[in-house]
Amino acid sequence: MIGDSRKMITMMKFTPSFDIENRHDGIVAGIDEAGRGPWAGPVVAAAVILDPANMPEGLNDSKTISEKKRDVIAAEIRAKAVVGVGIASVDEIDEINILQATFLAMKRAKAGLSVTPDICIIDGSAKPKLDTPIEMVVKGDAKSFSIAAASIIAKTVRDQMMRDLAKIHPEYAWEKNKGYGAPAHRAALEIHGVTPHHRKSYAPIHNILYPEGKIAAR
């Protein structure tokens, strides 16, 4: 019975709304990130404050939207909402680890807002330290309009950064795989090796650079 209940929860599909935002007084900012898993490129976070009276159309979890449509919606979000973007570099990821780098990007995204929020609602369960009250929302990008908007901004910003890097290093096909460990990326690493844009603290990259001291993938 318990297993069936967990399966049902996993299969549930959420539709973004303002339900979470409406539980709070004052100005609410949604925060989300993109790029924790890839082997190359930065991690990007976005913070978005929406105007319920002037909503962008098509808001949903960025993973459920095509790349072309994401770009269109992102432009509309920027035209109708208050947006802040924060980036943590590959060097910062390697120095402080990906979780702390994600928190740093979120802090920078919140600092980039031209309006100070009264509370930030953030996708996930790992809580960053911000100088603003926080509510963590698991699967928040599928439940909250504000977090969904942040997920779209973060994803489109990072995707464009990876497309730009792909022009410098076309052999890794980053314009398609966005730095994830796709077959074309793996093959290029075997032939061309590691670039300055790879995350050297990640096991697949570390093990290429230091085969005598391999670490297990997490």
Each residue of 24-77: pLDDT tens digit?
Answer: 999 999 999 999 999 999 999 999 999 999 999 888 878 888 899 999 999 999
Same domain, 121 and 20: yes
pLDDT digits (tens, 9 = 90+) for 161-179: 999 999 999 999 999 999 9
pLDDT at 9 over 60: no
pLDDT band (50, 70, 90) for residue 3: very low
Give the total number of structural domains in the chain.
2
At 102, the pLDDT band (50, 70, 90 cuts) reads: very high
Looking at residues 82-103, what average pLDDT do you find?
98
Judge whether 182 lies within some domain. yes
**Low-confidence winner among 5-14, 59-68, 110-119, 146-155 (lowest mean pLDDT):** 5-14
Residue 98 and residue 129 in one domain: yes
Q: What is the 3-state secondary structure (H, E, C) of the chain?
A: CHHHHHHHHHHCCCCCECCCHHHCCCCEEEEEEECCCCCECCEEEEEEECCCCCCCCCCCCHHHCCHHHHHHHHHHHHHHCEEEEEEECHHHHHHHCHHHHHHHHHHHHHHCCCCCCCEEEEECCCCCCCCCCEEEECCHHHCEHHHHHHHHHHHHHHHHHHHHHHHHCHHHCHHHHCCCCCHHHHHHHHHHCCCCCECCCCHHHHHHHCHHHCCCCC
Does one domain contain both 72 and 115?
Answer: yes
Does any domain span residue 6? Answer: no
The pLDDT, as a whole number, for residue 13 is 58
User: Model-level pTM?
Assistant: 0.91
Which domain, by its residues, includes 81?
14-167
Residue 92 belongs to some domain of the structure: yes
Whether residue 109 is found in the same domain as residue 201: no
Give yes or no: residues 108 and 201 share one domain: no
